[in-house]
Structure 1
Amino acid sequence: MHLDRKTLTTMIRKPHSIIVLLFWAVAVSTVSAESPLPPESPIRPGDRIAIVGNTFADQLRIHGYLETMLLQRWPDNPVSIRNLGWGGDMLNARDRPTNFPAEEETLLAHRTDVIVGCFGMGESFAGEEGVQSFQASVDAWIKSLEGKTYNGKSQVRLVLVSPIANEPLGKLTPRHEQRDRELSAYSQAMSEVAIAAQVPFVDLYQTSRYLMDEPIGPNFTTNGIHLNSYGYWALSHYLFRGLVQDDLASPQPPWRISLDATDLTVQANGLAVSDTARTEAGLTFRATELIAPTLPPPTGEDLPPQLHHFRDSLTIANLAPGIYKLAIDDVSVVTASHDDWARGVTIDTSPAHQQAEAFRAAVNDKNLQFTYSWKALNQVHIVGERKKSPSGKALPAEVIEFNQLAQKRDAKLRDGIERQTRNWRVTRIH
């Protein structure tokens, strides 16, 4: 069912918890209630993951939000990811340059445990009359992976991810309604195949459609179908939860601290708070980071209410009237009024958040080194007239070196983000 703008706006006027529950249910849905879920989470600790598919998959490696979340999920046994996405890929049209290595070679080299397949966008341009053919292609692809043991010990697992919705951007998307019907049909077709094959399925179509209908916040895409950095930040949260849906019992981001300035009672998620004390100008406490912080969104604009749930926050009740500044380890983080603190203030520029952003940059650098080692950037040096040139002759050794760099970066990422105990100080400044 699709919610129009009027209906959604009405819902937003209801208590925020209801909205969160609605969008959480949409985000983590995989196969329907008619089919039992897999006995374990689609992605598991220590998994070696390959992401394949279209532009959506390809661009995941550039932004790094999903991979950073997955790496932080099991710091004691982190996953390892190779992104084999290729802009424009479809199940039956995955063209590669001459002499490009077969995908199976890379899957074997990575000792792949699970493949995350993102298809349906390119195929949807065949219109609704192409849905049946697409279903057959998805089914054939699933069957083609039966018995494949890229990790050398067990059959490779598979997760299917639907295409996103078509975002209405006025003149940029003149066929919006038709394209959205087509994308809905292809997403549903993929879901039906997943149910029949007992393959986990993450429905980003419905999630993205609800979010795109929201009047608050920036656009998610550049042209209706290609996500921008904000779109990848937002949808990566939902994709992450779909991929680890059966393993969400332990604490998850975001950080939540709720503190009463009168009696110093405190509730916290993601951090352990201790040594709470009043000062002449405010209060102080120590917070031990139990989990890594949530990555901040790449925008300064207001976000839709349903995305507030993905941001770290501090709430302080019963502060005396005034303006208060939060500093963490003497680093100024945010300034807000006592009323704002009572409602809850977003915390996403702390030293820990800066550390998390540096980690995401390291993820992106690893992906860049792997891309240099895997994707042909200049075919003429490989099979063309420059093959025997000095640069052409040097290319095989350079490819090996880039692969080694990627492996070294991957090993370094296993160290994760250092979780620390920091001093938080809230001081009245006006």
Structure 2
Amino acid sequence: MRIRTVPATLAYIILLFLFLPNGLAVAQTTPPPVSDAPSAPFDLKNGDRVVFLGNSLFENDFQYGYLELALTTRWPNRDITFRNLGWTGDNVFGVARSTITNPPTAYELLMEHITKAQPTVVFVAYGGIEAQDGEAGLPAFKEGLTKLLDKIDQLGARAILLSPIPILSADSAASKTRRNAMLELYASTIAKTAAERGKRFIDIFKPIQEISKTVPLTENGIHLNETGYYYLANVLETALGLPPRTKPVTITVSKTGSETTAPAKLLDAGTNTASLTFTIDEQYLPLPLPLNETGLTKSGQIVKITGLKKGFYTLTIDKEEVITASAKQWEDGVELKQGPSFEQVREIRQMILKKNDLFFFQYRPPNTTYILGMRAHEQGRHAKGLEDQSLIIKWLESQIALNRAPKSRVYQLTLLK
């Protein structure tokens, strides 16, 4: 379950009026429906609205923002917006979305949420809750999933189907094995449905299960922690066929001059081995590691510099000291895990979290019955306040759009004396 914190709406409103002259940079136009054959390269286009629809797998990412961060930085020059409709305990019939107010029914509310989000791309992640019904629940699950896909098709959106994630710990080994076997059975049903409908299917069950053998990915064996969402973002990028975020850089220093490989470019190609100045053409910002995690999969830029004379060398980026390493370490390759690009992407991540926090309380306020439901005659006046939050959300989206592209930076390596 997501940890709820009431957003500082007043502060956001003040920011909105301070910065509104800059304009709202994010376009909200909806493109015509686009076919998304599973074999075609995955792409997001100007005006796309990406919706994450499912159970706690998506809702819990409200705390971390990794999935949105990964995708929004992949197309930094395109106006793409995101909405997270994940709901803990939910299934394809929207049972967890029920309120005291009826109508709408839980299923009607699910349909309403999807429609209001105006998606053009929907990542669908169900099956984890339904698998508890065992084999007997498969026909109902497939029926519900089919109706859900019909709705997404009616809205002209593309659907990408995800498998459930595995149970990583349980009361006993036998229980874990039994539950995972049922999750795989439901994953198989999702895969078959995707194939029948010509939709993309992404198996996240096996990759998460494999990664969990060496890295703790959950809080309780069921729900992913911050590290789990970092890896899930990586799994999605790989499954969608997206290229690595960085390419290794190699610089060779010799008495006759220095040479480098793309994407780096030397700014001083002379014979001064005590100092090197260069730039790196970054296509994407890095995906920042979770807090207090240092031994995870490499996510930063790898820089190899050969031919340096013995000693220790300090690398600065835009005059900010980043790392000091020996000539031998530079020759082996040094991974950059901090610096201006990481600071930039962390700021974007914070804006994503603030924006999603506002949206969460806008589309599912804790006192729904009093504001939108059968007791709206008491506090229904607050509905206008919920609507007004859209202005702040759009402003935050404009700031994300203005800052998600990598910036040109100057790298300098200097011998310590």
The TM-score with structure 1 as length reference comes to 0.78
The residue correspondences of 1:25-424 to structure 2 (distance < 5 A) are: 37-39=38-40, 41=42, 43-92=44-93, 93-99=95-101, 102-146=109-153, 148-149=154-155, 155-168=156-169, 175-213=175-213, 215=214, 218-243=215-240, 245=241, 248=242, 252-262=244-254, 263-269=257-263, 272-277=264-269, 282-303=274-295, 307-308=297-298, 310-379=299-368, 381-382=370-371, 392-424=379-411
d(CA) in 2 for partners of 1:422, 1:86: 41
Query: How big is each residue's C-alpha offset from its partner over 1:151-202, in whole Å with a ceiling of 9 and x where there is no partner?
Result: xxxx22211111112224x769873222222222221221111111111111
* Contact residue 98 and residue 109 of structure 2 kept, 8 A: no
Secondary structure of the residue aligned to 2:205 is helix
Query: How big is each residue's C-alpha offset from its partner over 1:362-408, in whole Å with a ceiling of 9 and x where there is no partner?
Result: 1111111111211122246337898565xx25421221122221122
d(CA) in 1 for partners of 2:110, 2:135: 30
d(CA) in 1 for partners of 2:398, 2:293: 36
Contiguous gaps of at least 5 residues in structure 2: 1-36
Secondary structure of the residue aligned to 1:357 is helix
CA, structure 1 residues 175+334, in 2 after alignment: closer, same or farther (shift >3 Å)?
farther
CA, structure 1 residues 320+38, in 2 after alignment: closer, same or farther (shift >3 Å)?
same
CA, structure 1 residues 396+172, in 2 after alignment: closer, same or farther (shift >3 Å)?
farther
Aligned partner letter, 1:111: Q
Aligned partner letter, 2:391: Q
Aligned partner letter, 2:237: F
Post-superposition offset of 1:276: 3.8
* Contact residue 216 and residue 228 of structure 2 kept, 8 A: yes
* Contact residue 324 and residue 335 of structure 1 kept, 8 A: yes
Aligned partner letter, 1:201: F
Query: How big is each residue's C-alpha offset from its partner over 1:78-105, in whole Å with a ceiling of 9 and x where there is no partner?
Result: 3111111111111122433245783444
d(CA) in 2 for partners of 1:143, 1:96: 22
Q: Is 1:426 matched up with 2:413?
A: yes
Aligned partner letter, 2:285: P
CA, structure 1 residues 286+376, in 2 after alignment: closer, same or farther (shift >3 Å)?
same
Post-superposition offset of 1:122: 1.1
d(CA) in 2 for partners of 1:260, 1:166: 48
What is the aligned length? Answer: 373
CA, structure 1 residues 52+385, in 2 after alignment: closer, same or farther (shift >3 Å)?
closer
Q: CA RMSD in A?
A: 2.9
Contiguous gaps of at least 5 residues in structure 1: 1-35, 150-154
